[in-house]
Amino acid sequence: MASDLVPVHTEVESVYGLEGRVNLIGEHIDYEGYGVLPMALRLDTVVAIARGGDKLSVGNVEAEKFPLVEYDVDPNQEAGLRPANRGGRDCLQEVDTANHVWANYFLAAYKGVFDHLSSKGEELPKPTGLQVMIHGIVPLGGGLSSSAAIVCSSALAVLAVNSITLTKGEVADFTCKAERYVGVTSGGMDQAISVMGQPNVAKLVEFNPVGLGCRVCEGHSEKQHPECAVRAEDVHLPQPATFVIANSLTVSKKQETADKKYNLRVVECRLAAALIARKLGSPSDAAARVRTLREVEPLIAAKYGEGLKGKLRAVEELLDGGLYLQPRVEEELGVPLADVFAGEASPLRVLGVVRDEGFKLRDRAAHVYSEADRVYAFQAAAADGGDSAMADLGALMDASHASCSKLYECSCPELDSLVAVAKGAGALGARLTGAGWGGCTVSLVQREQVGPFIQRLREEYFDPLLKAGRVTEGEMPEVRAQGPRGGGVPG
Ligand code: NG1
Ligand code: MG
């Protein structure tokens, strides 16, 4: 890959590359604090970087599609605001989410490096001009985490050019926060697997927030240890298991649609958690501070018992199955939503956008709790590896898709149809992967079935799209398979 790169102006000092990922199970639960089970892909994004010039100059090998973007090295230099006297604020670069350009992902990473170092109280490097050249082959808007691949490799490049080394867990944690500057209030799965993924093995990625019992150190009750923030454990899959990733060819424009889709789901989960807390006796102000469904688990367990059954009963009894309009949430919570989200740009934007449409709370919470449970069932079935392991893994993937489609409503007709075709073609399990609303599916297939399986997808999903003129030959078909040995099977 490195030989494809054309350095701008100066000699390349460092080249960094990180992969996209496929999430095998655990969708839309990372931002609720729950573990997920992704696997790194061979598709990657590479960043070449060198000091030089007086701008952050961000180019792409595919210059026609992604034209050169230049940013000021330090927009506040002229105002005389040096890092030491910025009144406690971090890097003053701002990412303009209203005018989304591709290079914003680099800028988010750049800002993230400065923010992270200053949150650790470390001396900040002097901002200098940088020449950056990027090349990525992770399909965009495909649910394969092209965005995290560019954010994480950019962050590593900025660290490298400043001779800074950090632990993988630390990089995974701060790049997750950094990617949110682009405007999507995402969880930490993609950055974690991008940084911690390894060939030949899937990973159970877990997040260890303060106060909820860290699984690394069993401590950090007050302030999180940077090295404990994210933890990744190997998950070895049965040998015949092959995962076929197929692109529905419907692009999911997650950044552009965030406030009506992805960010709305994050808000719905938070409101569901707050109402559960309120109904289980928390005072209004405490309930309004609850941020995730994971946080209310102890309250639920005290009344309904441990385990998934108790959580689903709580959701059924405490939340209405219909739509909640804002005044109803405020009445039941006892706090205006403008106060709940004071100072938080993204949820306030969501409120503005969906004012008259309302929130679905019961279905969203039921999805999160059941999906979180399926992740551990998947890990257990993989570890068991017995005769029924393949069928068990497949059934869990099917249940995940049904839940994403019906309860979380993050599928779309094309993804549902591709999943149905995959099942008809003999997949043991098939589901959307990533945020959904377009992008890719992942199917579990026996290794020796891969060839005929891909052929069926071509005939039943891709050829009709081609005949109908909905895609061109050049776009056809992005079908890739990856087995536990990491061997790519040509599509
Ligand atoms: P994709 O679709 O790959 O961008 C997104 C989020 C994840 C996770 C999944 C849904 C980003 C960067 N990533 O992934 O954190 O929530 O959706 O499980 O937005
Ligand atoms: Mg993404």
Q: What is the pLDDT of residues 234-244, one digit of tens each?
A: 999 998 999 99
State the pLDDT confidence band at 84, using cuts at 50, 70 and 90. very low
Query: Ligand 2: distance of its center to the CA of 108 in Å?
Result: 13
- Concerning whether 190 is annotated as a catalytic residue, the answer is yes
**Residues carrying CATH 3.30.230.10, the chain:** 14-75+95-237
Query: Ligand 1: distance of its center to the CA of 418 in Å?
Result: 20
**What average pLDDT does the segment 251-258 reach?**
82
If one counts every other C-beta atom within 10 angstroms of the C-beta of residue 337, the result is 21
Q: Report pLDDT for 482.
A: 56
pLDDT digits (tens, 9 = 90+) for 127-141: 889 999 999 988 787
The environment of the single-atom ion ligand 2, i.e. residues with CB closer than 5 A, is 147
Q: Does residue 486 surpass a pLDDT of 50?
A: no
**SS3 call for 443:** strand
Encode 147-167: b = buried (16+ Cβ within 10 Å), e = exposed: bbbbbbbbbbbbbbbbeeebe
30 lines ligand 1 (CB under 6 A): yes
Can you tell me the distance from the alpha carbon of 249 to that of 266, in angstroms, rounded to the nearest whole number? Answer: 25
Counting residues of the chain whose pLDDT is more than 90, the rounded percentage is 62
170 lines ligand 1 (CB under 6 A): no
Q: Does residue 12 surpass a pLDDT of 60?
A: no
State the pLDDT confidence band at 20, using cuts at 50, 70 and 90. confident
State the pLDDT confidence band at 380, using cuts at 50, 70 and 90. very high
Q: What's the fold here for domain 14-75+95-237?
A: Ribosomal Protein S5; domain 2 (3.30.230)
Q: Does residue 5 surpass a pLDDT of 80?
A: no
Q: Does residue 490 surpass a pLDDT of 60?
A: no
Query: Ligand 1: distance of its center to the CA of 228 in Å?
Result: 21
Q: Report pLDDT for 14.
A: 66
**SS3 call for 375:** helix
- Among 22, 173, 185, 190, say which to mutate for ligand 1: greatest number of ligand atoms within 8 Å of CB: 190
**Residues carrying CATH 1.20.1440.340, the chain:** 262-405
Exactly one of 44, 74, 190, 392 is catalytic; name it.
190
Task: Judge if pTM exceeds 0.80.
Answer: yes
179 lines ligand 1 (CB under 6 A): yes
Can you tell me the distance from the alpha carbon of 377 to that of 380, in angstroms, rounded to the nearest whole number? Answer: 5
**What average pLDDT does the segment 17-40 reach?**
92
Query: Ligand 1: distance of its center to the CA of 162 in Å?
Result: 29
Q: Report pLDDT for 398.
A: 98
262-405 has CATH 1.20.1440.340 classification: yes
pLDDT digits (tens, 9 = 90+) for 33-81: 999 999 988 788 999 999 999 899 999 999 999 999 999 887 655 444 4
Instruction: Pick the residue whose CA is nearest to atom 13 on ligand 1.
Output: 186
Q: Of the candidates 300, 315, 302, which has an alpha carbon nearest to the alpha carbon of residue 366?
A: 315
**What average pLDDT does the segment 298-316 reach?**
97
Task: Give the number of the atom of ligand 1 that is nearest the alpha carbon of residue 151.
Answer: 12
Q: Which of 154-158, 211-215, 428-432 comes out lowest in average pLDDT?
A: 211-215
Ligand of minimum distance to the alpha carbon of 20 = 1
pLDDT digits (tens, 9 = 90+) for 457-467: 999 999 999 89
Q: ipTM beyond 0.90?
A: yes
